[in-house]
Structures are given as C-alpha cells and as structure tokens.
Structure 1
Amino acid sequence: MMKAIHQLKGNDLSGFAAFLAVATHRSFRSAAIQLNMTPSAISHSIKVLEERLSVRLFNRTTRSVSLTEAGERLATKLRPAMDSLEEAIRELDGSSQDPRGMVRINASEGAIRLVLKPVLASFLRQFPLVHLDIVSDGRLSDIVADGFDAGIRLAESVPKDMVAVPVMGQVRFAAIASPDYFKQRGQPVEPQDLNDHNCIRFRFESGAIYRWEFERHGVVERINVTGSLTLSDQPLMVEAAIDGIGIAFVPDHLAAEALNDGRLERCLEDWCPEYPGLCLYYSGHRHVSSALRALINTLTGKI
C-alpha cells in the first residue's frame, strides 16, 4: 500500500516522467530513448520512486516489463496531471517570439524522404532553437501513447480523432514491371489476372502483407497477390521490378525515373486512381507548440 501522505521533492517530477515513459513503452530502453537518458538512469529513477512511495510499480523479467496494480492506478491518475503540466509549459513556449523546443515526429521512411528531407536543412537553419526528433516507423504507431507530437501517413490512414494537415498532393499507385517481363509473361488486363503473375509483395513492419487495391468506375478489387519475392522497402521493390523479377505495386513517384527512361512500364493503368496524399497529423486535444506550428507552416508553404 502507498503511504497516506507524500510531500513532493525536487526529483519526484523527473521520476514521474520516467515512470510514465516506461509505463507507455513497457521498455526501459525505449523510455530512455524518449527522455534522452541511459537505461540505467531510468532504472535508478524508478527504483528511487518506488522506495519513496513504498510500493512496487513494475513487474520486471528479463524479457518483459508490466505495470503492477498500483502502477496502473498511478499511471491513470498521473497522465492527465503531466499532460496539463506539459501544456502549461508549451503555452509559455508559444508566447516566446522564436519557436523553440523539441518536436518528435513518427513517420515511415518513405514519408520522411518525401516530405521532411527536402525542408530539413532550411528549416533548422531558420529555427535554430528547434530540435527535431524523427523516428522512422512503418507500423502506424499510436503517436499519443508513444509520446510523439505528430506523425505523417496517408490521409486515409489518419485516425478520425486527429487533426490532419495535407502536406502533399494526390498520390497514385502504379503496377509496374520491366519490358522484358511483360514480353515473356504478357500484361494483365484485369486485376484478377495478377493471380497468374509473379508479383513482388510488400510487408509492413507489423508483419502484415499489403493487399493490392484497385478501383475503376466505383468497382474496388483487392488482390492478395503471390510471388517469389517479398520486401519491406518500396524502393527495393522498384529495383526488383527493373531487374525483371515481377510486377510491383508502389506509389508512382518512386518509379517515375525508370518509367520515363523506359526501364519500367505500367499495367492496369485505368485501375489505378489517385488518392489523398500524405498528411501531418496530431492530437487536437493537446496544445500545438510554437516549434510544431513552425514545422506545419513550413510544410504547407506558409513560411
């Protein structure tokens, strides 16, 4: 049982922050990365907090970390209080003339290269008091639970309770293969014809295999393609298609150069409509810091 009365001490706040980070990630190492600390420092902070409260907050094994019942109760009560404190600090930050502070962004590698990379150098020169912490992640993480300020993903994948800001135009997928492949195997005319072809499949970081989705005149076809190669990197899929391995299905901007110079050709073009492109998204329930606002304005051309 927790003691009836505890007076806050100077290091309790950092201990609570460490506790919530471990509670969120269920990992001392991931919590250390989030807080820019060492795992041993996180472990020591949790130990001190448990001694202060005279209660065990985590069950630890060599393979897992889980909250005890007391830890669950503390996390439930503590999160709103820490969120309010963070919002108060961000409001002070927002009153500053110059954007400052850290912005943690979660995005796939492709989104980082397409949206963030072109503006990184100029943005950081313009806002030297801002630190961007960008994590490459294709798992469609819960950005609030994982401690991110914002994420970037396709508009159709943004959770409904998030604020989504378009940061690129429409995106179109392309079914592509080399001229030699089509010469040997022929071109599919309907999406179902892909069942007779060697297709280069895409695997998400979650382990799920992407189902190819086509649409024409309101008719949607979703195909669980098969083939001799599965990859988790879309640029590699383009290279594999160039090498004649099979048909790949990727955002067409990734294959634009090879399509223009004839190393690749399209198929099923009338089955590949445009979709809303990438959005930067964030929780509408949290204050938007001056640093995140500056990044949004940069990405949307308002700066």
Structure 2
Amino acid sequence: MKQNFTVRQGALDGVETFLNVARHRSFRRAAAALGVTTSAVSQTIRLLEARVGAALLTRTTRSVGLTEAGKRFLERAAPAFEELVAAAEAARDLGQRPAGLLRLAVPRAVVPLLLEPVIASFCQAYPEIEVEIAASEEMVDLAAHGFDAGIRLGQFIAPDMVAIRLTPPFPFAVVGSPDYLSRHPPPERIDDLRGHACLRIRRSNGSIGPWSFVEDGKAVEAIVSGPLVAHDYPTLLGAAIQGLGLAQVPEPITRAPIAEGRLQEVLSSFAVSTPGIFLYHPGRRQVLPKLRAFIEHVRHQG
C-alpha cells in the first residue's frame, strides 16, 4: 500500500515558538525574542502539544524545563528548523542579487553568433553566476528541464513565452564556396536551385525544412535536394565552406567567411528576413536577478 508522506497542514506551526522557549527556558524571554505576548507563546505551545499528542515542557512558577518527549522533539526539530531557515535565506539571496547557476538552452548557431562575444565579459562582470549552456536544436520545456531561459529565432518561440529581443531582424542567406560556384553556374532565379547540391536542415520535429524566399513580395518555399542533411546551421555552413554545395543559413554567421573570401552569397534579392534572435522565459514573475543581469549584459554588448 502506498504511504502518504505529505506534511499535514499546520504541522510546523509553533515549532519556532517551542525552540525559543527551550532555548531561553522562559516563556517571557521567548515572547520578547519573538515580539509577541507571553500569553500568545503559552497558547501556541498548548496547541503544539495538543497536535503532537504529548507534553513537551514542564512549567513551574520559577522555571521551564523539557519533558522526555520535549527533549526528543528538540533534538530532531532544532536542526531541521535551522535547515529550513538556511534554505529560505539561500533562496532569498538568489532573489536579491545576481548569483547562482544560470542554465540556458540555445541552438548551436547562436553560440558563435551571440554568446561567444559576450560570455567571457559576462562571467567576469558577475563572478557569482555560473553559466551552463546546453547547445541543442531541440525545443525543450524550460521548466521541466530546469532551464532559466532559452534563446531562439523569433518565429520558433511559443506565444505563451515572454520574448525579449537580442538582435535586430536579419535575412537568411544562400551561400557557396568559390570552388563550388566555379564548378556550377551561380543560380540567378529560385528555379535554378534544381540543378544545384543544396544542403538541408532537419527540424526538431523531424521534418526537413524547405528553403524560404520572397519573390515579387510573396513568400515562396522551394523543395531542394542535395548530399547532406544536418541538424544545425554551423554544420551546414562548414559543409558549404568545404565546397559540398549551397547552404541557406542565418546571414550573421556568413559575414566572416564571406569577408575572408571563403564563401559567396547568391540569390540575395530573394532573401527572406527573420524576426531576429530572442531570449524567452516562462513569465515575468520568474525573472531572477541572474537572468535579468544576463539580459541587460547581452543588450549592452550588442
């Protein structure tokens, strides 16, 4: 048979009062320490004893002592109560200053794009915060998996999340290496992609994402094919740099390899824009100082 280990309602009532009386050996001094009247202390102890089912204190006109039951209760209750107080203080401390473990769920593409430039300066600015980055393309349940926040492209964030913009909107760029484009005529129209090796991404729901464009002001999706399917944009980018084919990836991660001559952009006039990158979390009431500090730091660094 399953046992019920739930603490009964009110089971902790009177414990602090009892500990004070046991410590001071006086109802009057315990009342002064608690800021209540002596009669209130007496009444609280009577209710506690009734609930426990045993006398905990012996009272005379001159002193207060512990019964055997009271001694046993004190031995177990005192350290437990101290742990509860310490737990409350630790929680209160995290609610008042930037400290503790900050867990973030982010896609791999965001790490070099957004986090690498700011993570070192953030850790130096807030030495009492420990940062854990879980780089994954999966859309995780933040609360269920113990994350403080996630970072995603805006179009993939659920509407019940609080979303905070971290970057301006940016396009998705189609890029290929100079070597690949020397062997294959650069596409000039979307239909030209049929003759190209197109590197594709598998979404977190298992489907392979089409390539998205804008033509004559209308959204267009192109079903493409090619030799590689990856689960993240950095892998597609690396394969494009190696000359395996064309890749459609967030434009910010293409800037450095394009500037270095390792990639070239094509079909730029058809590029579709995304809302940008956002940090998201379950609700405003759950924003602890550690997360608030991170949000402000990323904004200022940007």
State which drifts further: 159-168 or 227-236: 227-236
User: Shift of the alpha carbon at 1:109?
Assistant: 1.6
Is the Cα–Cα contact under 8 Å of residues 91 and 287 in structure 1 kept in the other structure? no
Show the counterpart of 2:140.
Answer: 141
Distance 2:114 2:210 in 1: 25
Deviations 1:139-181 (A, max 9, x none): 1212123221100000111110111111122222111123343
Deviations 1:99-154 (A, max 9, x none): 11222111112212222222222222222221222211111212123221100000
Distance 2:206 2:98 in 1: 39
Show the counterpart of 1:182.
Answer: 181
Deviations 1:61-90 (A, max 9, x none): xxxxxxxxxxxxxxxxxxxxxxxxxxx889
User: Shift of the alpha carbon at 1:236?
Assistant: 3.5
Is the Cα–Cα contact under 8 Å of residues 216 and 273 in structure 1 kept in the other structure? no
Show the counterpart of 1:191.
Answer: 190
User: Shift of the alpha carbon at 1:286?
Assistant: 4.2
Structure 2 residue runs of 5 or longer lacking an equivalent are 9-87
User: Shift of the alpha carbon at 1:93?
Assistant: 3.5
Q: Indicate the percent of aligned positions where both proteins have the same amino acid.
A: 34
The alpha-carbon distance between structure 1 residues 151 and 271, as it changes in their structure 2 partners (threshold 3 A), is same
Show the counterpart of 1:77.
Answer: none
Classify the secondary structure of the residue corresponding to 2:300: coil
Classify the secondary structure of the residue corresponding to 1:300: helix
The alpha-carbon distance between structure 1 residues 127 and 257, as it changes in their structure 2 partners (threshold 3 A), is closer
Is the Cα–Cα contact under 8 Å of residues 151 and 281 in structure 1 kept in the other structure? yes
Is the Cα–Cα contact under 8 Å of residues 152 and 281 in structure 1 kept in the other structure? yes
AA matched with 2:221: R
Classify the secondary structure of the residue corresponding to 1:256: helix
Distance 2:111 2:262 in 1: 26
Is the Cα–Cα contact under 8 Å of residues 164 and 281 in structure 1 kept in the other structure? yes
Classify the secondary structure of the residue corresponding to 2:291: helix
The alpha-carbon distance between structure 1 residues 120 and 189, as it changes in their structure 2 partners (threshold 3 A), is same
Classify the secondary structure of the residue corresponding to 2:261: coil
Classify the secondary structure of the residue corresponding to 1:239: helix
The alpha-carbon distance between structure 1 residues 120 and 302, as it changes in their structure 2 partners (threshold 3 A), is closer
The alpha-carbon distance between structure 1 residues 5 and 265, as it changes in their structure 2 partners (threshold 3 A), is closer
Q: Which has the larger radius of gyration?
A: 2
Show the counterpart of 1:115.
Answer: 114
Distance 1:109 1:123 in 2: 19
Deviations 1:158-205 (A, max 9, x none): 110111111122222111123343343322232232122111122345
The alpha-carbon distance between structure 1 residues 258 and 132, as it changes in their structure 2 partners (threshold 3 A), is closer
Structure 1 residue runs of 5 or longer lacking an equivalent are 9-87
The number of residue pairs the alignment matches comes to: 223
Show the counterpart of 1:131.
Answer: 130
1:1-303 superposed matches below 5 A: 2-3=2-3, 6-7=6-7, 92-93=92-93, 96=96, 98-204=97-203, 207-284=206-283, 286-301=285-300
Distance 1:5 1:267 in 2: 65
Distance 2:242 2:301 in 1: 42
Distance 2:179 2:5 in 1: 77
The alpha-carbon distance between structure 1 residues 129 and 196, as it changes in their structure 2 partners (threshold 3 A), is same
Classify the secondary structure of the residue corresponding to 2:146: coil
Is the Cα–Cα contact under 8 Å of residues 173 and 251 in structure 2 kept in the other structure? yes
AA matched with 1:273: V
The alpha-carbon distance between structure 1 residues 254 and 114, as it changes in their structure 2 partners (threshold 3 A), is closer
User: Shift of the alpha carbon at 1:4?
Assistant: 6.0
User: Shift of the alpha carbon at 1:91?
Assistant: 7.4
Show the counterpart of 1:82.
Answer: none
The alpha-carbon distance between structure 1 residues 166 and 91, as it changes in their structure 2 partners (threshold 3 A), is farther
